[in-house]
Chains A and B, each alone.
Chain A
Amino acid sequence: MNTVENFEIYAPKLIEKREFFSPGHRACQGCGEVLALRLLLKALGEDTVVSNATGCMEIISSAYPHTAWNLPYIHVAFENAAAVASGVEAGLKALRRKGKIADRYVKSVAIAGDGGTVDIGLQALSGAMERGHDMIFFCLDNEAYMNTGIQRSSATPFMAATTTSPAGKAIKGQRTGKKNVPEIMVAHNIPYVATACPSYPLDLMNKVEKARKTIGPSYIHIFSVCPTGWRAASNETVKLGRMAVETGFFPLYEVENGKYRLTIDYPEKRRPMADYLRLQGRFRHLDPADIAKVQELVDKEFRKLMHKVKTSVPWS
C-alpha cells in the first residue's frame, strides 16, 4: 500500500506558533470557517500559495487596503479557484525547471466556500483533479451562500430554511439533500480525499499535513459551522461541529488511494439527529415526523459509507 511517507502525527506542542491568518479580520462571532482556515494554514506552513475564490473568507480578510493573510495570496472570481491554483502550480513548476526560482517545494492551494466548490466551481474543480495537478483543494462548507445573505446551495442539507429555500406549509425548506462532493472527488481517482471539522483540530491538521505531503491532487472537505446563517448561538460553534460528526451527519473519514478509513470511532448507537437540529433556527419548522425523515436519510448515507469502509481496497 502506497501511503504517505514521513508523516508525523500532530500534537498540541508541535503546532506552528506563527499565525498565517492574523486577527483583526471581519468575520462574525463564532465563525467556524475562520477557525478551520487558521488551523489549516498552520498545518500548511509558509511554503504555500493560496488561491481564494470569492466568498466569506475573502470578504472578511482582504478588504483593500487591509489584509489578514501572512501568506502569498491571490483572490480570484467565484468559479475558478481550482483553475487558478492549477495555473499557479504549473507556473511554479516551469520556473523551477528553468532555474528561475529556488528549488524548494511550494504547495499550490485553492480555498473556496461551498458555493464556489459544489455549485459554480465544480467544473473547474473536476478539471483540475482530472489533470492531476500537485495541489490541494479545500472546501470550507458552511452549507449555504452566507456571504450574500444565506441563499441555498447544493451543499445545504435537507429541509434547512434559507432565504431562497424558505420554509412554508407545503415546502419545508431545501428540497434536496447535500451533494456528496468528497464522493465525486474519490471518483476522480485522486490520491487523497478527506473530510474534516475544526471541532476536531488535531484530526484536521493531520489531514492537511497528509495532503501536503501527497504528490498529486488532494481534496479536503471541511465542515464549518456558521452561527449567523444557521441561526444558532455563536458560542456553540464547536459543539455544533462535534454534534454533526457524532450524529453521523458529517462523518470524518479519509480516502487514501481509494481505501476508505474512518478517523473517528463510532459507537453502535450514534447520537440522534434531533439533538443537532434542535440547536439551529434553520430547522425550527421541523416537526417530529420531519426529524424522523432527516434521521432516516442520515442513517442511509452512513450505512453507505460504512459499507465502503469495510469493502474498499487501495487501488495501488
Chain B
Amino acid sequence: MQGNRVIGEAAIRAGCRFYAGYPITPQNELTEYMADNMRRAKGGIFIQAESEIAAINMVLGASAAGARAMTSSSSPGISLKQEGISSLAADELPAVIVNIMRGGPGLGNILPSQGDYFQATRGGGHGDYRTIVLAPASVQELADLTMDAFELADRYRNPVIILADGMMGQMMEPVEFHAPPPRRYPECYVLKGMGQGKSKFIRALILDAIRMEEHNWKLYRKYQVIAQKEVRCETFWTDDAEILIVAYGTAARIAKGAIKRSRELGLPVGLIRPITLWPFPTQVLQGFAARVDDFLVFEMNTGQMLEDVQLALGNTARIQFYGRPGGVIPTPAELAKVIAYQLRKK
C-alpha cells in the first residue's frame, strides 16, 4: 500500500472518526483515501475545509467534542496550521497532525525534504509548548506510529505530529495492520451539551499573569513526564561501530543502505535512529558517546537535528554533518563515500 493511504487506513482502524483536510501535494492521497473510506467507517466524518486554518480548527472543535480527530498537510500548509496547534496544546486537547514534508522555505517544491525539523520539535507556533513528534522510516512504521499517535495524544491530551516526508508518503510497501487497543481517555473535558452537573470550559486565554504562569508550569510538568517516558529510538549495527550516523525518517533508510555497503568494505559504522524527535533520545546518544568518538549527523536539510545532537553530546565527541536540502534525495552510495572519507580522516 502507498504510505499516504496507509496513514489513512491506520487512522480509521485506530478509531479516528473525524478528518479535515485540504489539498496540498504530496499528501493528497491521504485526503482522497479519507474521502473514500471515512463513510465506510461507522460514524466517520470527512470534511474538505476551505483552508488549512479551517481544517485544524475543525479538528480542535471535533476534539473538544470528544472525537478522535486528525488532519494532514505538507510543509506550507502546516505553517498555516500553527495557530491551531498552539491552541490545541494550550487547551490540552488530543489531536494527530500529519506533516508530509516537502522542500522549502516558502512554497519550495513538492519533493521530499526534512526542513521542518525545527518547526515540529520546537513547538512551531507561538507560546511555551511542545508537541510529541514521531518520525517513521518505513510504510509499516507509518501504520504503527499512526495508531500509537492517537494513543499518545489521548494519554497526554496533547497534539502529536507525525513527521514524514514526500518519499514516505508516496512510497509503496507491504504493510500489516495490528489491532489497536480500545480507546481509553478521561471524558472529563468533553463538551457534549450541559445535561447534569457543571458546565465545562475550554479556554486558552488567561489574562491573569499568575494563573498563566501556573498553566505554563502545569504544561511543563506534563512535558517533563513525556520526555522521561516516551523516548523511542532504534539502533542498527552499533556494537563495534567506530563512527555512528544519526539520522531519522527517509534519511535513516538511506543511511542503512550506506552502512551495509560500508560494512561490506569492512568499515565499522552504525546508526542511531531517533523515532521520537521530541522527546529527543539525548541519553541514548550520551550512552554511546562514552565509547564512540565520532558522530555523523545525516539529514535532508542544512543541519537542524544537528543542533540537538550537539546539545546532547557537547564537547564529548566529534560531530560531523552531511545534508542535502531542497528535495534532493541522496543515494546510499553517496553517503557511503562520505563515511569512507570521515573514517580516512580519523
Instruction: Determine whether B282 belongs to the interface, using a CB cutoff of 8 Å to chain A.
Output: no
B23-A148 in contact (CB<8A): yes
Query: With an 8 A cutoff between CB atoms, is B76 at the interface?
Result: yes
Contact A151 B48 (CB under 8 A): yes
| Cβ–Cβ contact A148 & B25, under 8 A | yes
Of the candidates A145, A148, A165, A170, the one whose C-beta lies within 8 Å of that of B35 is A165
Please state if A148 and B76 are interface contacts (CB–CB under 8 Å): no
A79 at interface by CB-CB < 8 Å = yes
State in angstroms the CA–CA spacing of A54 and B25 once bound together: 12
Q: Given A120-B50, A165-B35, check contact A151 B23 (CB 8 Å).
A: yes
User: Known: A77-B76, A151-B48. Is A164-B107 also a contact (CB below 8 A)?
Assistant: no
B50–A164 touching, CB < 8 Å:
no
Partner of A152, one of B24, B48, B51: B48
A115 / chain B contacts, CB cutoff of 8 Å: 23
Is A148 a contact partner of B107 (Cβ separation < 8 A)?
Answer: no
Determine whether the beta carbon of A149 is less than 8 Å from that of B32.
Answer: yes
Size range of the interface on A? 20 to 34
Is A70's CB within 8 Å of the partner chain B?
A: no
- Decide yes or no whether B114 CB sits under 8 A from chain A: no
Taking CB atoms, residues of chain B closer than 8 Å to A170 are 39
Interface contact B51-A164, CB-CB below 8 Å: no
Name the CB-closest residue of A to B106. A77
The closest CB in chain B to the CB of A163 belongs to B32
Give every chain B residue within 8 A of A119 (Cβ-Cβ): 50-51
- Asked if A199 is at the interface (CB within 8 A of a chain B CB), the reply is no
Q: Which residues of A contact B39 (CB under 8 A)?
A: 168, 170-171
CB atoms of A164 and B24 under 8 A apart:
no
A216 within 8 A of B: no
- Give Cα distance in the complex from A115 to B23, angstroms: 10
Which B residues touch A149, using CB under 8 A?
23, 25, 28, 32
Question: Which residues of A in the span 130-157 have a Cβ within 8 Å of any Cβ on B?
Answer: 145, 147-149, 151-152, 154
* B185 → chain A closest CB, angstroms: 29
Tell me which residues from 40 to 77 in chain B have a Cβ below 8 Å from any Cβ of chain A.
46, 48, 50-52, 76
Instruction: Give the docked Cα–Cα distance between A170 and B31 (Å).
Output: 20
- Quick check: is A45 within 8 A (CB to CB) of the other chain? no
Partner of B36, one of A120, A148, A151, A166: A166
Q: Cβ of B21: which chain A residues have Cβ within 8 Å of it?
A: 164
- Whether A154 and B28, one on each chain, are in contact in the complex, defined by CB atoms closer than 8 angstroms, is no
Are B51 and A79 in contact, CB atoms less than 8 angstroms apart? yes
A126 to B140, CA, bound (A): 45
Smallest CB separation, B211 vs chain A (Å): 33
List B106-120 residues whose CB lies under 8 Å from chain A.
Answer: 106-107
- Are B28 and A120 neighbours in the complex by a CB distance under 8 Å? no
B273 to chain A, nearest CB (A): 31
CB proximity of A80 to chain B, nearest CB, Å: 11
Give B298 Cβ to nearest chain A Cβ, in Å: 26
Contact with A along B8-35 (1 / 0, CB 8 A): 0000000000000111110010011001
B20 CB to closest chain A CB (Å) equals 11
Bound together, the chains give a CA A78 to CA B80 distance in angstroms of 11
Contact B107 A54 (CB under 8 A): yes
Q: Which residues of B contact A75 (CB under 8 A)?
A: 107
Q: How far is the CA of A133 from the CA of B52 in the complex (A)?
A: 27
Closest to A76 in B: B107
Closest B residue to A156 by beta carbon equals B48
A120 B32 Cβ-Cβ under 8 A: no
Q: Give B79's nearest chain A residue, CB to CB.
A: A77
Segment 221-239 of A: residues with Cβ below 8 Å from B: none
- List CB contacts (< 8 Å) of A65-80 with chain B: 75, 77-79
In the complex, what's the smallest C-beta–C-beta distance from B89 to chain A, in angstroms?
A: 24
Complex Cα gap A115–B51 (Å):
9
B interface residues, Cβ below 8 angstroms from A: 21-25, 28, 31-32, 35-36, 39, 46, 48, 50-52, 76, 80, 106-107
Query: Can you list 16 A-B contacts with CB-CB less than 8 angstroms, sorted by A residue number?
Result: A77-B76, A77-B106, A119-B51, A120-B50, A147-B25, A148-B24, A149-B23, A149-B25, A149-B28, A151-B23, A151-B28, A151-B48, A164-B32, A164-B46, A165-B35, A165-B48
Given A119-B51, A164-B46, A165-B48, 17 other A-B residues pairs in contact with their CB atoms under 8 A: A54-B107, A77-B106, A79-B80, A120-B22, A120-B50, A120-B51, A122-B50, A147-B25, A148-B23, A148-B24, A149-B25, A149-B28, A151-B28, A154-B50, A163-B28, A166-B36, A168-B39
A contacts, CB < 8 Å to B: 54, 75, 77-79, 115, 119-120, 122, 145, 147-149, 151-152, 154, 163-166, 168, 170-171
* Top 7 A-B residue pairs of the complex, sorted by shortest distance between their CB atoms: A148-B23, A120-B51, A164-B35, A119-B50, A151-B23, A145-B23, A163-B32
